[in-house]
Amino acid sequence: MYISNYRRRSEAVFLVFFILLLLCIGRLLFIQFFRSNYLTSIANKQHNQLVELEPKRGAIYDSNLKAQAFNMSMDSLYAVPNGIKNKETVINLLLPILGVERSYLTNRLNRDKAFIWLARKIPSEKAEAIKRLSIKGLQFIKETKRIYPNSYLASHIIGFSGMDNTGLEGAERDYNKFLKGESGWAIFLRDARQNKLDIWEKMVLPVDGLDLVLTVDEVIQYIAERELDKVFKDYHAKGASIIVMDPHTGRILALANRPSYDLNDRSGVSMDTLRNRAICDLFEPGSVFKIVTASAALQEKKVTEEDIFDCENGAYQVGGRILHDHKPHARLTFRQVIEESSNIGTVKVAQLLGPDTLYRYLTTFGFGSKLGIDLSGEISGMISPVRSWSKSSITSIPMGQGVGVTALQLVSAISVIANGGQLMKPYIIDSVRNNHGEIVKKNKPVLIRKVISLDTALRIRKILTGAVEEGTGKLAKVSGFSAAGKTGTAQKIEANGTYSHDKFIASFIGFAPAEDPLLAIVVTVDEPHPSYFGGVVAAPVFQKVAGDAIRYLKGNAVPLEA
C-alpha cells in the first residue's frame, strides 16, 4: 500500500517536471523561431552602436590658395537618457557649463531614447569641463565645424553651411555637391555599462569633399571692401556694391555688397542683408549707360569724335518732354558730349541711330539677359523690345532711364571697351580640386560675342579717358596710372511711378590703366546723402580701389590697414 502510494506520487512529480520541461522547450522553440530577430535587435542595441562617420567638407580658397573656409574638429555632446539615473543632478551640473535653459535639458533627458543630442560642436573648454564630471550616460562624438577665418570678407560670395555641413548660401550652397563629400558609418562595440569601446565590427569609410578655388584675390577683395565700407558709412547709404573684374577674361577678382554680415555669426541677419545685390538687384543705371549709345554711334559711323552737337543751353523739348542737362551747355563735340555727360547731346546722337539700332546694341552689350555667372541669383535685367517703346523712349533709354540693369552687367559692358570689343562671360569659380591638389574641374575664359570692333573700342577708350581727365569723373583719377570711365547719377522710381527728387543711385564704371587695362570696376551706391552725384560719391571709390589693386598686382606694397 505504502509502495503503491509512493509510486503514484513519484509519477505525479515526474509528470509535473516533464510538463514543465515541455513548456520550457516550447518556449525556447518559440523564442528561437518567432522572437529571435526582436531579441537580437535588442542585444545589438545594447552591445553595438552605429556611428555615422562624417566626411571632411572641402575647403574654399582664394586664387592664391589662401583658405577662406575650412572645417575644424570639435566635440559634440550626446546623452543616453535610459542610462542616467539622477537626471536632476546631471541637469544642475550641465546648466552652468552649457549655458542653456533648464527646460531644454529637462525635455531632452526625459525622452525614452538611447541617443539624444545635448550640444553640438562646443568649445574645447566646455567639453573638457563636462568630461571631468565623468557622468555615466554622457558621451562625446567628434564633429567638424565650418570656420571662416576672414569673418565678413567675401561673405556674399562664399556664403555659409549649416550645422550638418550642408551649404545654405553662396558658393557653399551652389557647390555643395562637390564640397560635402559622402558620409560613412561604423558599428562600434559597447561594454555592459554602455560605454563605447574602440573596437569596430563593420565600417564604411567616408569620402571627403573636394576643395573649391575662387577667382577672387583676397587682397583685392579686402581693398574693395575697405573702400566700399567707407562710402557706405560716410554717405549713410541704403546699400552699395562693387565688382572688380579682369576685363580680358571675365574673372571676378573681388565682389562685395553692403550691408554685409559675419560668416561666423549669422544671428539676427535679415534676408535683405543676405542678398547678393551685385547680381540680383535691378536699377536704372543713369549716365553710365551712355557708353552704349556712344559705342553704337561710332561703330555705325553715325558720328566722329569732333562732330558738333547743339546742347540747347541745357533745355531741349523733344518727344513731348523737356530734357535738361545737369549744367547748361551750348555747342559740344561728340567727345565732349560724353566727357561732360550731356543728356541732350546723347539723345541727339541716339536719334541718329534710331530705336532698332540702339536696341540691338543694348542687347549685344549683354543688357536684358543673364550673363551666366557661376553663382545663383543672377537676374536678366529689363530691356523692353522696340515694339513696346513709347515716343519718349528714344529720349530716355540712351541716358539710362526706362531700363533695368545689374552691377554685373555694367562691369561686363565697360570690360567690352577695355578689352577691345569682346563680351566675356563673368565667372568666380576657378577650379575644383581633390585633397591632393589635383584639378577635377577647371573653368576657363568664355567669349560670349564680339560686340564692337577694336578700332571703336580704342576710340571710346580715349573718350572715357577724357571723361576722367577733363570731365565729370575727375575724382576717379588714379595717382601714377591713367584711368578711363563714366559717372552716373540715376533718380530712383517712387511707388507711384514717378521719379524721386531725393533718392538716387550714384555709380561709376571704369578701367585702369587706360592704355593697358588690368582691372574693370563698377561701384554703385544706393541712396547716398547728402551728396548723391556719381562723380562725387562713387568715383573716389574707384580711384582708391584701382590705385591700390594695380600697385598690388604690379608687386608694390599696399597699406592694408582699415
Q: Which residue has the higher pLDDT, 492 or 201?
A: 492
Distances in Å between the Cα of 298 and the Cα atoms of 293, 342, 399 are 9, 17, 17
Digit-coded pLDDT (tens) for 5-58: 767 777 777 777 778 888 878 777 766 666 666 655 555 555 555 566 778 899
Q: Express as a percent the part of the chain with pLDDT over 70.
A: 90
pLDDT category of residue 185 using cuts at 50, 70 and 90: low
Enumerate the active-site residues. Answer: 287
Q: Is the pLDDT of residue 284 over 70?
A: yes
Place of cell 573638457: 128
Lowest mean pLDDT among 67-76, 148-157, 249-258, 317-326: 317-326
Please give the Cα distance from 63 to 429 (Å, whole number).
9
Q: What is the mean pLDDT of the chain?
A: 89
Digit-coded pLDDT (tens) for 355-376: 999 999 999 999 999 999 999 9
Q: Which residue has the higher pLDDT, 85 or 390?
A: 390
List phi, psi (to 5°) of 236.
50, 45
Please give the Cα distance from 562 to 560 (Å, whole number).
6
Digit-coded pLDDT (tens) for 423-436: 999 999 999 999 88
What is residue 562's predicted lDDT score, i.e. its pLDDT? Answer: 47
Digit-coded pLDDT (tens) for 387-416: 999 988 999 999 999 999 999 999 999 999
Cis peptide before 530 (omega within 30 of 0): yes
Q: Is the pLDDT of residue 199 over 50?
A: no
Sorted by sequence, the CB contacts under 8 Å of residue 451 that are 6+ apart come out as 295, 361, 364, 365, 416, 421, 422, 423
Q: Of the candidates 163, 126, 160, 122, which has an alpha carbon nearest to the alpha carbon of residue 141?
A: 122
pLDDT category of residue 83 using cuts at 50, 70 and 90: confident
Q: Which residue has the higher pLDDT, 46 or 108?
A: 108
CA 364-368-372 angle, to 5 degrees, is: 85
Q: Is the pLDDT of residue 196 over 60?
A: no
pLDDT category of residue 189 using cuts at 50, 70 and 90: low
Cis peptide before 149 (omega within 30 of 0): no
- Per DSSP, what are the bridge partners of residue 489? 506
pLDDT category of residue 165 using cuts at 50, 70 and 90: confident
Q: Is the pLDDT of residue 219 over 50?
A: yes
Please give the Cα distance from 521 to 221 (Å, whole number).
12
467 and 334 in contact (C-beta within 8 Å)? no
DSSP-based three-state secondary structure for 519: strand
CA dihedral sign of residues 516, 425, 294, 339: negative
What is residue 559's predicted lDDT score, i.e. its pLDDT? Answer: 59
Q: Which H or E element spans position 181?
A: none
Please give the Cα distance from 414 to 416 (Å, whole number).
5
Copy the grid coordinates of residue 507: 555709380
Q: Are strands 429-433 and 439-442 parallel, antiparallel or unpaired?
A: antiparallel
130 and 138 in contact (C-beta within 8 Å)? yes
The tally of CA atoms less than 13 A away on the side-chain side of residue 40 is 7
Sorted by sequence, the CB contacts under 8 Å of residue 443 that are 6+ apart come out as 215, 374, 427, 429, 430, 431
Q: Is the pLDDT of residue 174 over 90?
A: yes
Digit-coded pLDDT (tens) for 323-359: 888 889 999 999 999 999 999 999 999 999 999 999 9
- Per DSSP, what are the bridge partners of residue 324? 315
Q: Are strands 484-493 and 499-512 parallel, antiparallel or unpaired?
A: antiparallel
Please give the Cα distance from 258 to 475 (Å, whole number).
22
Please give the Cα distance from 140 to 128 (Å, whole number).
11
Phi-psi region of 511 (alpha: psi -120 to 50; beta: other; left: phi over 0): beta
Distances in Å between the Cα of 478 and the Cα atoms of 215, 339, 546, 548 are 24, 17, 7, 9
Q: Is the pLDDT of residue 139 over 70?
A: yes
Q: Which residue has the higher pLDDT, 294 or 266?
A: 294
